[in-house]
Structures are given as C-alpha cells and as structure tokens.
Amino acid sequence: MSELMTTLLIGFSAFVATNIDDIVILLLLFSQLDSSFRCRHIVAGQYLGFTALVIASLPGLFGGLVIPTNWIGLLGLIPIAMGINSLINPEEDLSDEIAVTTAEDQDSTIASVINAKTYSVAAITIANGSDNISVYVPLFASGNFGNFLIIIGVFFVLIAVWCYLAYKLTSQTSIANLLSQYGNFILPFVLIGLGGFIVLKTETLSFIKLVGSCICLVILLKKDS
C-alpha cells in the first residue's frame, strides 16, 4: 500500500473513531431546525469547533502539549449546563437556548459564522473533543507535515459527509417523526450524559465534585430564570 493510501486510511480511521458519537448529537441538532436555527448554523458550528480542536492538537506536530487534557474536560460543563437549562426551563426550546438572533443575521453566510447559535454548536463540538485531541496529538506527532496536510484534508471532507448523513437520516419519515416527538425530551439528557462522560473520562472532576457542580448549575440557572 502506498504512503498516500496509508495516510488516507489513517485519517479516515482516526476521524471515525473520534467522531462516531457526533452522529447522535448531529441527528438531534438537525431535528431542532426551525426558522431561526438553520442547517448552516450546524455545519458552520461543526467546522468552527473542529478547527479549534485541530488547532489545540497542533502542538503534537511540534512534539509538545500546551493544553492539558483535564483542562479540556472542563468544557464538558457546557453541554451539561445546556441540558440542565432545557430541563428546568422547559418553556424555552433548546434551539432558543442555543441563542437569540436577528432576522438580518439569517440572510447571509457570514452571519451564520458569527451567529451565536453557531458558536453554541461549536462549543458542543469542542466539549465532545477531548478524545479527538488525545488521538490527534500523537497522530500529528508521528507524521511529517505532508501527512498532516493530507489527514487534515480528510478530516474536513468527512465533516461535510457527517453533516450530510445526519441531515438525510433526520429526513427519513420514521426517524424524523421519532425525533420530532421525543427529540426535545431526549436531547437534554444526551447533552448532560455527554458532558458528564467528558468530565469523568478526562478525570477533570471526581463523580462527587461533578454532582456538586451540576447542583450548583441547577441553582444558578433556576435563579437566572
């Protein structure tokens, strides 16, 4: 097998291994689409968040680490907060929690990039990316710059494929009906579970401290409401 094919296969395998769980998140996000939360917000958020993960992994290309994995784990509190807020403030649609936007912002691609909903999707992507960084840092460190560019190219193509697959799956009548009926109920628990998994996996907080943090978030978010 040629070096190019080997690098392509490695890039594909690394992406699938670290983003298979993103399909579930994308399915639920695409099920929340409405007049103010569009496909472009999800796609732009995915690219923005993934780009941040790649940048955070770049020290591996130069043989060192800048961001400790357990610091990345703190980002797991973001989806936890979003999920808790959706549960204790059920009058707010999850897509509303992702952000409020103006009508003008909906009409341009540039607005999609600077839209607050895009940043919220990016935050979920980053928060779910501790495993990405733990894989990408040694992967980048083990290859040369040419291999790095090929792998990055594979990654960015596969992001589009991932978004397309998730969108098409939510377009299936049976799946769309299921998600539209139960999506708003399921998504908060998925976000809380995802955030908890990230925090515990990276050993950022112990289980007791995580539970305490969740209780504090409930108090703060309820007070804000």
pTM: predicted TM-score of the whole model, two decimal places: 0.66
CA distance 221 to 224: 5
Alpha helices, H only, the chain: 3-19, 22-30, 39-57, 69-73, 77-88, 94-98, 109-114, 116-127, 130-141, 145-171, 173-201, 207-224
- Residue count of the chain: 225
pLDDT at 67: 58
**What tens digit of pLDDT does each residue of 6-46 get?**
889 888 988 888 887 788 788 888 888 877 788 889 999 99
pLDDT at 160: 95
Residue 221 region, left (φ>0) first, then alpha (ψ -120 to 50), else beta?
A: alpha
Domain ranges of the chain: 3-224
φ and ψ at residue 204, rounded to 5 degrees:
-70, -45
pLDDT at 100: 40
pLDDT at 68: 67
Q: Which residue ranges of the chain lie beneath pLDDT 50?
A: 64-65, 93-107, 225
pLDDT at 176: 63
pLDDT at 114: 64
pLDDT at 51: 94
pLDDT at 154: 96
Taking each helix axis from N to C end, the angle separating 173-201 and 22-30, rounded to the nearest 10 degrees, works out to 130
pLDDT at 198: 74
Residue 32, CA distances (Å) to 96, 133, 181, 193 in order: 10, 28, 11, 19
Q: Are 63 and 142 in contact (CB under 8 A)?
A: no
